[in-house]
Homo-oligomer: A and B are copies of this chain.
Amino acid sequence: MLARKLDLHHRLSAEDQSAILALPHKIRRLEAQSYTMREGDRPDRCAVLLEGYAFRHKVTGDGSRQIMSINIPGEALDFQNLFLEESDHNVQMLTRGVVAEIPRSAIEELVLSHAEVGRAILIASLIEASIFREWTLNIGRRDSRSRIAHLLCEFAYRITAQRLKPEGFYELPMTQEQLADATGLTAVHVNRVLQSLQREGLIERDRRMIRFLDWQAMQDVADFNPRYLHSPEIA
């Protein structure tokens, strides 16, 4: 279950794979909104997301929230924290879901005894860092229309690469307020932009389902180039 799902973007030997498989872990079912890590916590375990979606966020002193990334099934939620003393951000479930929790000590040992696994964890962490950089560009330098389109493209691309997407449409399990917190906008403005994308025939919406009517046009509006995802697969 664990090794089949854990996506490390890096080929591992059978021996390394079975070392991962042998990792002690506890399967845990989580409700939407529950935290797997809070800013200030000492990380003592790593959750691997098996089902459902999660997100990372931080909050300013005056209480506004910025979401810094979305996590999809197959991704480890806590590599960003596990090797540091103290978490600098929150990790929260977007939907209900299932995680496998691995004790920190087991991973520490694995990394020291299996250098290639350490390398794989480094690579996965660096790819996430690349996503953070793209989000900084997105929020700092694109207008609201491109920003939102970019988020939609990234999500569609990633779930497609992970073979989680059925057929031209998908569920984006985020409220408009969460979308706003991910793009540095307000929920009201997100609502208006979504409506305008719909009016122009780029997407269709039903509830939280999004259907792309023109993938190429969306990519153009979004200024989306998947290079930063460092994905071996093609969408």
A-side interface residues toward B, CB under 8 Å? 39-40, 56, 58, 60-62, 64-66, 68, 79-80, 83-86, 88-89, 111-113, 115-116, 118-119, 121-123, 125-130, 132-137, 139-142, 183-184, 223, 227-228, 230
Closest residue of chain B to A114 (Cβ to Cβ) is: B115
**Assembled-state Cα–Cα distance A72/B80 (Å):** 22
Contact B125 A128, beta carbon cutoff 8 Å: no
Contact B111 A115, beta carbon cutoff 8 Å: yes
Specify how many copies of this chain sit in the oligomer: 2
Contact B125 A132, beta carbon cutoff 8 Å: no
Chain B residues near A123 (CB, 8 Å)? 83-84
Contact B119 A112, beta carbon cutoff 8 Å: yes
**Assembled-state Cα–Cα distance A56/B112 (Å):** 31
Contact A140 B139, beta carbon cutoff 8 Å: yes
Chain B residues near A132 (CB, 8 Å)? 129, 132-133, 136
**Assembled-state Cα–Cα distance A132/B137 (Å):** 11
Contact B119 A89, beta carbon cutoff 8 Å: no
22 inter-chain pairs at a CB distance below 8 angstroms, sorted by A residue, are A39-B227, A56-B133, A58-B134, A58-B137, A60-B137, A62-B223, A79-B126, A80-B130, A83-B119, A84-B230, A85-B230, A88-B130, A89-B130, A111-B119, A112-B115, A112-B116, A118-B118, A121-B122, A125-B126, A136-B139, A139-B140, A139-B184
Q: A39-B227, A40-B227, A79-B126 are in contact. List 13 more A-B contacts (CB 8 A).
A: A60-B141, A60-B223, A66-B141, A68-B133, A83-B123, A84-B127, A86-B230, A112-B115, A122-B122, A122-B125, A125-B125, A129-B129, A135-B136
- Shortest beta-carbon distance, A118 to chain B, in Å? 5
Chain B residues near A122 (CB, 8 Å)? 83, 118, 121-122, 125
- Shortest beta-carbon distance, A50 to chain B, in Å? 23
Our pick among B64, B133, B184 for the contact of A89 (Cβ within 8 Å) is B133
Contact B112 A142, beta carbon cutoff 8 Å: no
Chain B residues near A129 (CB, 8 Å)? 80, 125, 128-129, 132
- Shortest beta-carbon distance, A220 to chain B, in Å? 8
Contact A142 B230, beta carbon cutoff 8 Å: no
